[in-house]
């Protein structure tokens, strides 16, 4: 028995309703182009809303000597030379305009007394260039974009799970999916498709992503459509994720807590950063602090829960209440813990996919006609370590550019070529999963996968562990074929979890295979068996399916930018 199928036609389909997807949809609507945005979770609850720290642009409102060129230099340096210089130029040069757009649409930025947008230090930035709204910047950006999309009557479907991008002869003609509530199917015909469905950090045990988001959907949809994945092994582990309660493990404690003077200690009470970065201590970079905490825990100096202590209780109560309101509130709600009195137990947590779908720098095209990828789903800006605040500006800059590119692509089509075979295959995939009645449980397989990634492909990696991980992953993938899917009265979440699982398995394989290939330590990628940086590996690793990893050269950095690259002191600054 077939579920009913809704057929929709639109010029451009946007998959994902976070900051990147909404910004692209707004651009299309402002250009009068027919657009539809779909998401698998309510738009007000997209992952963008969790971003705390701020959004970068060299506005020079606080430090007049700042320039986009310096922002580019800082970004390239912090990427350990793996970022694409052209991508970096486009984002840093277009950043001020991105902030301008937000202001025009009512974003409540923090301001100085004279009305200038306030900017603060963040991570390895040479100047103050991070604009913010309290410690809930992402939430305000998401709200601003939702309001603008509503003004423009952008249609948004909040409960549609896309299972396939439909392709014929290496060009897209739409997508297939189902409704999470009633299981009805969607056939969406579109000239162009913009993939903005996030990263793959949920495939680790502790992550700052919530359940059922960032499970690698973008990777799977892209690869099945004929795209490739670049640098999936480059995953940023945020140093401070909560350990308890279990259902909130990985929830972030904003790095403002360290920026404002928080101290890190191990179980013995030692301020351990003196061993790893005596100059910068708690104000070191994300990758170093995550590695330090990981090492303390691994060597047996961790807390009872397997973490380290982050203590702000010595700070004035007023500082905590005004500068860290969200951290204070979160700990009170989740653990009944008063951070003005007691330390917080934290551990490194998978936070951001710096790699993603392979895209061209200029328009984020994927090499498949009419298919674009943006936001955390894409790659090219962050390399081996992301500058805090860069991901939010990336959404705005490339959301606008790709909206324009998709509009032009759609306008230039003389006909849309469809394929009944591609549609039948997508339909059959959902039918077969719904009929699946095997003994394996989707949730327990998801857990097994997260355990494999945490054990063998976490903060520190080595050859033998990664090979074990591959073997265990192969065994888990064999079991995926025997899952049972049982939609119930509450809807089709079970079917969604089965697709999440397929995505996670593909993303896990891409990550482990490229991590094996990157035999060096660079930025977030720590190989204990290859502790040094290898200049020959200053390349991007491109994965196009099991066992297929190619090296891709990175264009040279323009001289004017290279001249500005320098070690940036982090004294007195918020870390990324």
Active site residues: 286
Backbone angle region of 123, left / alpha / beta, with phi > 0 → left and psi within -120 to 50 → alpha: left
For residue 217, with 0-12 CB atoms within 10 Å meaning exposed, 13-18 middle and 19 or more buried, which class applies? buried
Q: How do beta strands 540-543 and 526-527 pair?
A: unpaired
CA 529 to chain centre: 27
Q: How do beta strands 526-527 and 460-461 pair?
A: parallel
Give every strand in the sheet of 235-242, ordered side by side.
235-242, 344-353, 308-311, 263-265
DSSP string over 395-428: HHHHHHHHHHHHHHHHHH-S-----HHHHHHHHH
CA–CA dist 40, 262 (Å, integer): 37
CA–CA dist 524, 291 (Å, integer): 9
CA–CA dist 393, 397 (Å, integer): 6
Closest CA to 370 of 71, 65, 15, 77: 15
CA–CA dist 474, 257 (Å, integer): 41
CA–CA dist 235, 355 (Å, integer): 7
Q: Encoding tokens for residue 159?
A: 């409960």
Sign for the pseudo-dihedral over CA of 49, 137, 357, 101:
positive
Q: Scan for tokens 């825990």, then name that residue.
A: 297
Q: Are 45 and 159 in contact (CB under 8 A)?
A: no
CA–CA dist 574, 189 (Å, integer): 46
CA–CA dist 308, 243 (Å, integer): 10
* Strand, coil or helix: 166: strand
Q: Are 71 and 562 in contact (CB under 8 A)?
A: no
Q: Are 203 and 216 in contact (CB under 8 A)?
A: yes
Angle at 130 between CA 154 and CA 380, to 5 degrees: 65
Element (H, E) at 326: helix 325-335
Q: Are 520 and 527 in contact (CB under 8 A)?
A: yes
Helix axes 68-78, 85-104, angle to 10 degrees: 130
Q: Are 66 and 126 in contact (CB under 8 A)?
A: yes
């Amino acid at each position: 028995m077939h579920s009913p199928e809704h057929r929709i036609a639109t010029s451009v389909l946007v998959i994902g309703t976070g900051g990147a997807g909404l910004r692209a949809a707004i651009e299309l609507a402002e250009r009068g182009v027919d657009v539809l945005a779909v998401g698998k979770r309510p738009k007000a609850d997209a992952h963008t809303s969790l971003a705390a720290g701020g959004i970068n642009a060299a506005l020079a409102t606080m430090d007049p000597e700042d320039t986009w060129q310096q922002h580019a230099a800082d970004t390239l340096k912090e990427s350990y030379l793996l970022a694409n210089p052209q991508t970096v130029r486009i984002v840093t040069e277009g950043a001020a305009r991105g902030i301008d757009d937000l202001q025009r649409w009512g974003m409540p930025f923090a301001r100085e007394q004279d009305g200038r947008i306030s900017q603060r230090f963040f991570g390895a930035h040479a100047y103050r260039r991070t604009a913010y709204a309290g410690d809930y910047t992402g939430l305000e950006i998401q709200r601003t974009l939702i309001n603008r999309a509503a003004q423009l009557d952008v249609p948004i479907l909040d409960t549609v799970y896309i299972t396939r991008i439909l392709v014929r002869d290496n060009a897209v003609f739409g997508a297939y999916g189902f409704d999470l509530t009633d299981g009805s199917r969607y056939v969406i015909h579109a000239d162009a498709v913009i993939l903005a469905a996030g990263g793959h950090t949920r495939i680790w045990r502790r992550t700052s992503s919530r359940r059922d988001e960032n499970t690698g959907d973008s990777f799977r949809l892209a690869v099945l459509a004929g795209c490739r994945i670049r640098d999936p092994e480059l995953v940023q582990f945020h140093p401070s994720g909560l350990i308890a309660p279990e259902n909130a493990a990985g929830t972030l404690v904003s790095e403002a807590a360290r920026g404002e003077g928080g101290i890190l200690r191990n179980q013995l009470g030692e301020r351990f950063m003196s061993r790893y970065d005596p100059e910068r201590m708690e104000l070191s970079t994300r990758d170093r602090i995550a590695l330090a905490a990981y090492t303390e825990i691994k060597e047996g100096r961790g807390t009872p829960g397997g973490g380290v202590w982050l203590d702000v209780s010595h700070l004035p109560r007023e500082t905590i209440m005004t500068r860290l309101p969200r951290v204070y509130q979160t700990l009170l709600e989740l653990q009944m813990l008063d951070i003005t009195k007691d330390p917080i137990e934290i551990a490194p947590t998978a936070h951001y996919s710096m790699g993603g779908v392979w895209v061209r720098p200029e328009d984020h095209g994927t090499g498949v006609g009419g298919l674009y990828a943006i936001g955390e789903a894409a790659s090219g800006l962050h390399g081996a370590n992301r500058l805090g605040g860069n991901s939010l500006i990336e959404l705005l800059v490339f959301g606008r550019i790709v909206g324009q590119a998709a509009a032009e692509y759609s306008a230039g089509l003389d006909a849309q070529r469809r394929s009944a075979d591609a549609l039948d295959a997508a339909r059959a995939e959902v039918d077969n999963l719904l009929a699946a009645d095997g003994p394996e449980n989707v949730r327990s397989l998801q857990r097994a996968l997260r355990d494999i990634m945490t054990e063998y492909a976490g903060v520190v990696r080595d050859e033998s562990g990664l090979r074990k991980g591959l073997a265990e992953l192969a065994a888990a993938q064999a079991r995926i074929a025997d899952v049972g899917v049982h939609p119930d009265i509450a809807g089709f979440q079970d079917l969604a979890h089965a697709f999440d699982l397929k995505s996670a398995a593909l993303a896990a394989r891409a990550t482990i295979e490229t991590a094996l290939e990157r035999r060096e330590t660079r930025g977030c990628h720590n190989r204990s068996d290859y502790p040094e940086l290898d200049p020959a590996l200053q390349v991007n690793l491109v994965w196009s399916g099991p066992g297929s990893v190619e090296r891709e050269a990175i264009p040279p950095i323009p001289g004017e930018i290279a001249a500005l690259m320098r070690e940036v002191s982090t004294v007195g600054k918020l870390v990324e």
